Amino acid sequence: MINPYLPYPIRIDDIIVESEDRSLKTFKFVFLDPKDEEKFSYQAGQFAEISIPGQGEIPIGLASSPVEKGFIAFTINRAGKVTSHLHNMKVGDILGVRGPLGNPYPWDTMKGKNLLFIGGGFAFTTLRSSVVYLLHPDNRDKYGAIDVVYGSRSPGMLLYLDELKAWEARDDINMHITVDGTDDPDWKYNVGFVPPVAEEKAPKSEGDTYAIVCGPPIMIKFTLPVLEKLGYDHDHIILSLENRMKCGIGMCGRCGIGEQLVCKDGPVFTLAEVNNTPKEF
Amino acid sequence: MRILQIDKKDWSAGLEKSRKDYTLIGPVKEGNNVSKFKELAAGEEPDFSITTTTMSPKSVVFPQSEVMFTFTTDSASADCNIMKVPEKSYSPRAVIGIRPFDAVAMKIVKMNFDTPDYQDPYWCDAYAACTFIGLAITDPEACDFSTSTGTGPFDTSGLDVLLVDAGDYYLAEVVTDKGDSWIQSASFDQEADAESVEILHSMRKEAKKKIESTVEFANIDKKETLDLYNEKYWDSISFPCLNCGTCTYVCPTCWCFDIQDEMAHKNGRRMKNWDSCMFPNFTIHTTGHNPRNTKLMRVRQRFMHKLKYHQSKYNMGIMCVGCGRCVTSCPVNIDIREVCKQMNS
């Protein structure tokens, strides 16, 4: 019997400070046993439990993409006990990972469709994983137009800035980068909150576009009416939920919203599905 | 399968004999009027005078605290930060005197820990190691409503052997091959005569009749989740609740747990501990946001899970066997039968 609680040992291979306030760092991990990397075969939208002995475990969405081999990466906000400890670890340190866990975004259902990604703040991680997957030559032809609306408080708080700029220069993806505000006179992208920028720049649905929305609750609250205005049906709006988790495999009971467990039945749900739950998240 | 007759004067000797093949576990009384299932020391016998133990026997396969892994954080060690599975014994254990509804509860909990996608090895290995030698309930307690939850005082569906106390002797209905192995290990071999079998049947009828407390839940399944969720009665139901968690701890079907790391210097262990949906910490996020931040929400979660969510998820009835423990243990007299009635009405 496979022990689903037993983490694969991993080593910190690289640490990248992502934000000007240093609250966000991307950790690149390599598996101590290359066979574990094969077992850890994932799709964009899934998460994993990062396990630090003596500290505990945390569920974090995968920021690396299935098309990137040899490592896995997570962008982590310093917030609680485990993340604070992790922020103080260094390259070469050993820890563990369990996963991949949960369901990915519905890549098969979305084949042939246009995709609109709306992200805010540091919730852009699994969206980054998705975009890198989609832009890979093996996958780009399988999907229609791709639009990305991504915003943060300030330019210095945007994740993956170099990649964003590289995507901006491509003609097979429409980028709509925005910040709440900036005093940088050379800032050449949008200024404004995500929902109004989405209203102005995002494509209408016309039934053939899926919107994947990840961000802080306040952004989601004001983005959903915008999507409705743009004609998106509730079963074409895809959300990734978060709740307190421990096991990550649907057993410990705490992440339930009604009969759905965020860890195992989610974390990816359509808005139509979410509307049928008591929304305890 | 066969039915045996065990003379009570042969009982102790048979139990002792079976110890060569099995660890024996059974109900015992402890201090403060608390009774529970535990490993029986040499010469110790299960106490059949207890009808419903204070604590359910779920701990036999799901201990209140269990070591999942051990590890060291000593950087001088080659195994620094690597989790190790501790040695555990899953040799055969006979659970003597488990009541039929508690064995059914084990099967309900199995749906959570033994799934097509993942298996909790601690729970599954412990469950597989068990042979359940049940004891029929001939004198049901006032809060027993097991006949209306799909089980009952003589239900064999979760058992390997059902014992029935027939006065000077036990009748033993062998339900599974696993049960037969224990019977053989204990060298019980006297087949029951036709008259005794008749006695068993009439005692079964008699015991069922004695259970007067019932619940009905057919309508709950038909109602919309959100309609039930938004009912006004949750306010009055939850009003007296202290969120003490006793109901979840005594319940044979409550399976929620926590995972915690414990450290002593550089040596650590990762623990699986019972948890409870009655506690605010169960759901609180790192940000301080708590999706179930009121007592009402937590009380509602427990009853909705047991009486609605479980049924709509698995279509296998409610997540309650009618043992009555939460009713008798609740310090403020919250009664699941009354809650069920309101939800069903």
pLDDT digits (tens, 9 = 90+) for B198-215: 999 999 999 999 999 999
Same domain, A12 and A82: yes
Taking CB atoms and an 8 Å limit, are B257 and A1 in contact across chains?
no
Same domain, A120 and A236: yes
The whole domain housing A73 covers 8-99
Judge residue A110's burial from the number of C-beta atoms within 10 Å of its C-beta, 0-12 exposed, 13-18 middle, 19 or more buried. Answer: buried
For residue B113, list its beta bridge partners: none
CA distance B57 to B97: 10
Same domain, A73 and A182: no
CA distance B268 to B74: 10
Q: A105-120, pLDDT tens digit by residue?
A: 999 999 999 999 999 9
- Closest by CA to A77, choosing from A125, A42, A43, A31, is A125
Distance of CA A250 to the CA centre of its chain: 20
Percent of chain A with pLDDT over 90: 98
Sheet of strand B35-39, all strands in order from the earlier edge strand to the far edge? B3-7, B169-174, B161-165, B130-135, B93-98, B23-29, B35-39
Same domain, A198 and A224: yes
CA distance A173 to A134: 10
Task: Indicate whether A209 belongs to any domain.
Answer: yes
DSSP code string of B240-294? T-----HHHHH-SS---EEEEEEEETTEEEEEEEE--TTSGGGT--TTS--TT-S
Chain B CB within 8 Å of residue A216 CB: no
Residues of A in contact with B269 (CB under 8 A): none
Q: Specify the DSSP class assigned to residue B119.
A: B
- Pick the last residue of a domain from A99, A127, A145: A99
Q: What are phi and psi of A276, to 5 degrees?
A: -90, 0
Please state whether beta strands A174-179 and A190-191 pair in parallel, antiparallel, or not at all (unpaired). Answer: parallel
Three-class DSSP category at B133:
strand
Q: Is the pLDDT of residue B49 over 80?
A: yes
Q: A65-81, pLDDT tens digit by residue?
A: 999 999 999 999 999 99
Sign, Cα dihedral of B13, B14, B20, B23:
negative
Q: What's the token pair of residue A24?
A: 């966000």
What is the per-residue pLDDT for B197?
87
Question: How many residues make up chain B in this entry?
Answer: 345
Residues of A in contact with B73 (CB under 8 A): 53-54
Three-class DSSP category at B29:
strand
Please state whether beta strands A114-120 and A94-101 pair in parallel, antiparallel, or not at all (unpaired). Answer: unpaired
CB atoms within 10 A of CB A153: 16
- Closest by CA to A227, choosing from A247, A203, A261, is A203
Q: A213-249, pLDDT tens digit by residue?
A: 999 889 999 999 999 999 999 999 999 999 999 999 9
Q: Which residue has the tokens 């780009």?
A: A140
Same domain, A123 and A213: yes
Single-letter residue type at A80: G
Question: How many residues make up chain A in this entry?
Answer: 281
Chain B CB within 8 Å of residue A7 CB: yes
What is the per-residue pLDDT for B250?
97
User: Average pLDDT of B2-10?
Assistant: 95
Same domain, A85 and A131: no
Q: Rounded to two decimals, what is the model's pTM?
A: 0.94
- The beta-carbon neighbor of B229 closest among A244, A254, A278 is A278
Question: What confidence tier does A189 reach under pLDDT thresholds 50, 70, 90?
Answer: very high
Same domain, A26 and A121: no
Decide: A100 and A79 in contact? Cβ < 8 Å: no
Q: B92-148, pLDDT tens digit by residue?
A: 999 999 999 999 999 999 999 999 999 999 999 999 999 999 999 999 999 999 999
The CATH number covering residue A29 comes to 2.40.30.10
Distance of CA A123 to the CA centre of its chain: 5
Candidates A1, A81, A85: best to mutate against B (most CBs of B within 10 A) is: A1
Task: Indicate whether A23 belongs to any domain.
Answer: yes
- The beta-carbon neighbor of B277 closest among A2, A93, A253 is A253
Decide: A115 and A109 in contact? Cβ < 8 Å: no
What is the per-residue pLDDT for A82?
97
Task: Indicate whether A187 belongs to any domain.
Answer: yes
The CATH number covering residue A169 comes to 3.40.50.80
CA distance B315 to A42: 31
Taking CB atoms and an 8 Å limit, are A94 and B80 in contact across chains?
yes
Q: Specify the DSSP class assigned to residue B8.
A: H
- Closest by CA to A187, choosing from A159, A214, A160, A158, is A158
Q: Specify the DSSP class assigned to residue B307.
A: I
Same domain, A90 and A186: no
Task: Indicate whether A70 belongs to any domain.
Answer: yes
As for how many domains chain A has, the answer is 2
Whole-number average pLDDT of chain B: 96
CA distance B31 to B34: 6
- The beta-carbon neighbor of B73 closest among A54, A252, A281 is A54
Question: What confidence tier does A1 reach under pLDDT thresholds 50, 70, 90?
Answer: confident
CA distance B313 to chain A (A): 6
Q: What's the token pair of residue A33?
A: 């046993």
Containing B342, the helix (H) or strand (E) segment is helix B336-344
CA distance B246 to chain A (A): 17
Three-class DSSP category at A95:
strand
- The beta-carbon neighbor of A246 closest among B258, B263, B304 is B258
Question: What confidence tier does A207 reach under pLDDT thresholds 50, 70, 90?
Answer: confident
CA distance B49 to A231: 68
Task: Indicate whether A65 belongs to any domain.
Answer: yes
Please state whether beta strands A268-270 and A237-240 pair in parallel, antiparallel, or not at all (unpaired). Answer: antiparallel
Least confident of A83-87, A183-187, B115-119: A183-187
CB atoms within 10 A of CB B121: 20
- Pick the last residue of a domain from A99, A133, A157: A99
What is the per-residue pLDDT for B32?
84
Same domain, A137 and A224: yes
Q: Which residue of B has its CA nearest to A10?
A: B82
* Maximum pairwise Cα distance, chain A: 60
Three-class DSSP category at B107:
helix
- The beta-carbon neighbor of A254 closest among B119, B263, B283 is B283
Q: What's the token pair of residue B300?
A: 């509602």
Q: Between residues 154 and 213 of chain A, which touch chain B (CB distance below 8 Å)?
A: none
Three-class DSSP category at A39:
helix
Q: Which residue of A has its CA nearest to B112?
A: A251
Task: Indicate whether A163 belongs to any domain.
Answer: yes
Residues of A in contact with B85 (CB under 8 A): 3, 6
CA distance A173 to A167: 7
Q: What's the token pair of residue A194?
A: 């995500």
For residue B171, list its beta bridge partners: B5, B164
What is the per-residue pLDDT for B147?
96
What is the per-residue pLDDT for B35?
96
Same domain, A120 and A234: yes
Candidates A12, A90, A259: best to mutate against B (most CBs of B within 10 A) is: A259
Within a 13 Å sphere around the CA of A233, how many CA atoms are in the beta-carbon half? 7
Task: Indicate whether A130 belongs to any domain.
Answer: yes
Question: What confidence tier does A125 reach under pLDDT thresholds 50, 70, 90?
Answer: very high
Q: Which residue has the tokens 């920021």?
A: A63
Residues of B in contact with A243 (CB under 8 A): 283, 285, 291
Q: Which residue has the tokens 């599905």?
A: A273
Single-letter residue type at A24: L
Q: A35-49, pLDDT tens digit by residue?
A: 999 999 999 999 999
Task: Indicate whether A245 belongs to any domain.
Answer: no
Q: What's the token pair of residue A198?
A: 């989405």
Candidates B70, B223, B258, B283: best to mutate against A (most CBs of A within 10 A) is: B283
What is the per-residue pLDDT for B337?
97
Question: What confidence tier does A94 reach under pLDDT thresholds 50, 70, 90?
Answer: very high
Q: What are phi and psi of B330, to 5 degrees?
A: -65, 125
Distance of CA B42 to the CA centre of its chain: 25
Same domain, A156 and A91: no
What is the per-residue pLDDT for B1?
74
Q: A50-59, pLDDT tens digit by residue?
A: 999 999 999 9
CA distance B133 to chain A (A): 26
Q: How many CB pairs under 8 A join A and B?
A: 122
Taking CB atoms and an 8 Å limit, are B83 and A252 in contact across chains?
no
Q: Specify the DSSP class assigned to residue B175.
A: -
Q: B274-299, pLDDT tens digit by residue?
A: 999 999 999 999 999 999 999 999 99
ipTM: 0.93
Same domain, A88 and A119: no
Taking CB atoms and an 8 Å limit, are A51 and B83 in contact across chains?
yes
Decide: A251 and B112 in contact? Cβ < 8 Å: yes
CA distance A199 to A4: 43
Question: What confidence tier does B47 reach under pLDDT thresholds 50, 70, 90?
Answer: very high
Q: Specify the DSSP class assigned to residue B306.
A: I
Q: What are phi and psi of B188, to 5 degrees?
A: -85, 125
For residue B96, list its beta bridge partners: B133
